[in-house]
Every structure is written in structure tokens, then in C-alpha cells.
């Protein structure tokens, strides 16, 4: 389920949705080089990561769903699991939401591109033999 070849693997590891080998992002979220610091193309299979201009606008829908899930879960856990009032739980959850903005924004992009592009086993196997890492940098 979480092995190469499954969507969840590519989503969890932020890998190219087509070959599950190339990285989507140039650097870690905590490197300070920007939230949306993505490669233009896959370094392994040459898949274009910006399918059309404004492609990632659709990731807002995924981000909205992820925020909603986070907010409902966090408020419920804080309200029912601690002695906090509903307003205190909401305020603490909002503070956490502000901190999570970059993380959720990246996750939304990863989900969005994985919805649009399917895994291709043949390309993945061929790409393993001839990595294009040097060509793309
Ligand atoms: Zn790839």
C-alpha cells in the first residue's frame, strides 16, 4: 500500500506521480528555500510537473479539504480531550493552522498532481535504467 507503485507512496514521499522516483520539490520544507520550490520536470522520467498554466490553482480545493479535516479533528480533540472551552480550543486550533500553512500547501500540490497523473510501470522501469538527473539541473 505504501510501496513504490501505489499513489500513497508517491504522495507520502512527494515523488513524481508517473515514475515514483524523481522528487517533486527541490528542497525540504524547512530549508528556507520556499514552499513551492518545485522542479519543472521530473529528473528521472522527464514528466512535466506544470501541466498547464495555473495548474496548481486546483490544489486549493485539496488544501481546503485538508484544512477542514485538520480543524475539525483538532477542535474535537482539544474540546473533548482536554479541559479547554470551545473558544479556547478554536483559538489554539487557529494558531496551529497558521503554523501549518506551508505544510498543507505543499501536501495539496502533491495530492493534486497525483490526481492528474497516473503511475506508469513501464516508464518507471525504463527510467531506472537511464536516469536523467544530470540533464535536468
Ligand atoms: Zn518521474
Domain coordinates in residue numbering, the chain: 1-51+117-137, 52-116
pLDDT at 2: 76
What parts of the chain have a pLDDT lower than 50?
131-132, 134-137
Question: Residue 137 has what pLDDT?
Answer: 45
50 CA to centre of ligand 1 in angstroms: 13
- Between the CA of 70 and the centroid of ligand 1 the distance, in Å, is 30
Tens-place pLDDT, residues 70-101: 999 999 999 999 999 999 999 999 999 999 99
Whole-number Å distance, alpha carbon 137 to ligand 1 midpoint, is 14
* Distance from residue 131's CA to the centre of ligand 1 (Å): 10
Query: How many Cα atoms within 13 Å fall on the side-chain side of residue 13?
Result: 18
Considering the entire predicted model, what is its pTM?
0.82
Instruction: Give distance in angstroms: CA of 14 to centre of ligand 1.
Output: 11
Amino acid at each position: 500500500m505504501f510501496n513504490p507503485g501505489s499513489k500513497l507512496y508517491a504522495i507520502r514521499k512527494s515523488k513524481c506521480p508517473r515514475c515514483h522516483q524523481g522528487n517533486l520539490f527541490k528542497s525540504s520544507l524547512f530549508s528556507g528555500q520556499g514552499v513551492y520550490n518545485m522542479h519543472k520536470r521530473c529528473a528521472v522520467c522527464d514528466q512535466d510537473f506544470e501541466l498547464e498554466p495555473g495548474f496548481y490553482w486546483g490544489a486549493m480545493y485539496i488544501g481546503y479539504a485538508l484544512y477542514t479535516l485538520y480543524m475539525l479533528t483538532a477542535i474535537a480533540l482539544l474540546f473533548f480531550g482536554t479541559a479547554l472551552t470551545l473558544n479556547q480550543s478554536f483559538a489554539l486550533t487557529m494558531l496551529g493552522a497558521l503554523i501549518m500553512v506551508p505544510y498543507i500547501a505543499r501536501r495539496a500540490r502533491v495530492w493534486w498532481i497525483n490526481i492528474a497523473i497516473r503511475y506508469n510501470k513501464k516508464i518507471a522501469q525504463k527510467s531506472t535504467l537511464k536516469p536523467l538527473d544530470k540533464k535536468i539541473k
